[in-house]
Amino acid sequence: GHVGKVLQVRVRPEEDQLSMGIDLGIIPGARSFTEVARQVRQRVVTSVRYFSGLEVRQVDIQISEVLSA
C-alpha cells in the first residue's frame, strides 16, 4: 500500500520537542498498512529533525480511510 492523501496533521509543541498526530488515507497494495505507517513515521521524524532541529517525541499515525487504487 501507499499513502493516497494526508487528511489531517496535528502538532503539539512540548518545550524543545514535538508530538504529532497524522491521519492518512491509504491505497492498498503490496506493502501492509503497518509498513506504510512505520515508513511515514520514520520519514516525518527525520524531516522534522532536519528542517527544524527539533526532536519528535511521538508520531501517532491513524489510517482514517482506505482508498481505491
Place of cell 491513524: 62
Confidence at residue 66, expressed as pLDDT on a 0 to 100 scale: 94
**Which ranges in 1-69 belong to alpha helices (H)?**
33-52
- The C-alpha atoms of residue 65 and residue 9 are separated, in whole angstroms, by 15
DSSP class of residue 32 equals: -
Q: Which residue has the higher pLDDT, 56 or 69?
A: 56
Residue 15 pLDDT grade (very low, low, confident, very high; cuts 50, 70, 90): confident
Q: Which three cell numbers stand for residue 59?
A: 508520531
Decide if pLDDT at 69 tops 80.
no
- Are β-strands 2-14 and 55-66 bridged in parallel, bridged antiparallel, or unpaired? unpaired
Confidence at residue 16, expressed as pLDDT on a 0 to 100 scale: 86
Going 60 to 27 to 33 to 45, the CA torsion angle's sign is negative
